[in-house]
Structure 1
């Protein structure tokens, strides 16, 4: 019955998005999963939710492998597609779709990523994941352990209050647009990382920029690139207050910041690729 699929569609999409970091790829996986579900004798499926998660997980692993091949020709850094969440999202949800986490998840191998998402975000036991992925329970424990250790060493731990996050984003936007070296130096952490995802549609660095002096120098050198009529609008995206930057009547970019416990900027994520901005209002 397709009703089983619709009952679980929201969490299946949430799982696919965490596994893939792309709304478009998650939608493709869900569409293929739905088509395959239509060909199944549903009377033989004792646990539809587990069956559907197995289907989505295996499709996501296949999609991750295809995506990695495509990204070899991607121009510049790749960032996850922004996902509108909402002001009422709980902390656990916000953390599990945060831009910071999704960026680090990109460095995992497909099976590690899927196992980590199923265990950490959806509470599947190791034995269940082993069954979903067609692996032994011991192998699955190793996947989750390796993923967790990798993430702990690279994932930012601080989450600022929404009003502080927004205020700092506004100050950063002002400093970047005006080339204010003094303010940028004050706002940025010493080991700040700047990533701009444009896929060749804008003149942006082809590799992440690292370090306060490097990032401030770059931002001060490209003040001409900031549209003079740029208008920021704030929304909760990937669980944090994020600036959607409008130029005239179109969306120009999305700016997402990761902050340190001292409310300095740890990472700057600037998404300019128009293909990733189509689902934003």
Structure 2
């Protein structure tokens, strides 16, 4: 944004900024990425002949939608870079922004949206959450209005079939804290109480990705893993409660992100690859 917000175009953009950020956040699930998208929208607007824009709100929504769609497609094409980009975000000072944003959206909805394809997600978010007409969405993705209706309908069915009752942010963090406490104490039964029976653990290590399924196996691994960490720091990973841990010599051990729904943890993502954790420094 320019230094002089009193300028008409800057003031007009600022009036739409919160809504644009909300659109981008629901598309991308990351506060930092949403801010980047909104900033890029401003740059494009600042280069545009505004006399040709008859509906600024619609124009900006279209631009944010297109940029967000490009980001989602890039994530699919280069999944190996997606989590790398998230690691520095875990320790950013403005993490409370992610808490507020995640709580306002609903964590479970964000989790479900992650399962949608880019165009499905765009159609659902823009139409069902922000009431953008189908024909305008079609212009963004290059499809007919009828095709967009089908995308939105398919996305809506997925959301309705997979979305579970949600917890607020404070309750999510309490569940994660209960998990960590049980892991440190070696409390196997305590771990089972907070883990969904079908919990999925994904570990991104130096030798690649390993997936562990089921509460019994995840609980057993959690007891062993907790013994190697001497310091823990709560944090956020794209709006999800997370934890950073360090070894006794101060080197990073892991970065964990939890998905909590219905009072239990049903997904855990862990990064242990030193190459991806190297940028994390211990905070005193």
| Same-fold call, TM cutoff 0.5 | yes
1:1-281 superposed matches below 5 A: 1-71=9-79, 73-74=80-81, 84-85=96-97, 93-95=104-106, 98=107, 100-155=108-163, 157-160=164-167, 164-196=171-203, 200=205, 206-225=209-228, 227-228=229-230, 230-233=231-234, 238=239, 242=241, 245=244, 253=255, 255-260=257-262, 263-270=263-270
Distance in structure 1 (CA, Å) of the matches to 2:30 and 2:170? 27
Q: Is the 8 A contact 1:193 1:208 kept in 2?
A: yes
- Residues 78 and 236 of structure 1, relative CA distance in 2, 3 Å threshold: closer
TM-score by length of 1: 0.73
SS at match of 2:209: coil
Distance in structure 2 (CA, Å) of the matches to 1:76 and 1:34? 26
- Residues 255 and 60 of structure 1, relative CA distance in 2, 3 Å threshold: closer
- RMSD after superposition: 3.9
- Residues 162 and 8 of structure 1, relative CA distance in 2, 3 Å threshold: closer
- Residues 151 and 84 of structure 1, relative CA distance in 2, 3 Å threshold: farther
By how many angstroms is 1:193 displaced?
1.9
- Residues 142 and 65 of structure 1, relative CA distance in 2, 3 Å threshold: same
| Alignment gaps of 5+ in structure 2 | 1-8
SS at match of 2:268: strand
Q: Is the 8 A contact 2:24 2:65 kept in 1?
A: yes
Give the length in aligned residue pairs. Answer: 262
- Residues 268 and 63 of structure 1, relative CA distance in 2, 3 Å threshold: closer
SS at match of 1:146: helix
| Alignment gaps of 5+ in structure 1 | none
SS at match of 2:78: helix
SS at match of 2:227: helix
Distance in structure 1 (CA, Å) of the matches to 2:67 and 2:254? 32
TM-score by length of 2: 0.73
Distance in structure 2 (CA, Å) of the matches to 1:33 and 1:75? 21
SS at match of 1:222: helix
Larger helix fraction of residues: 2
SS at match of 2:45: helix
Distance in structure 2 (CA, Å) of the matches to 1:88 and 1:189? 25
SS at match of 1:33: helix
By how many angstroms is 1:221 displaced?
2.6
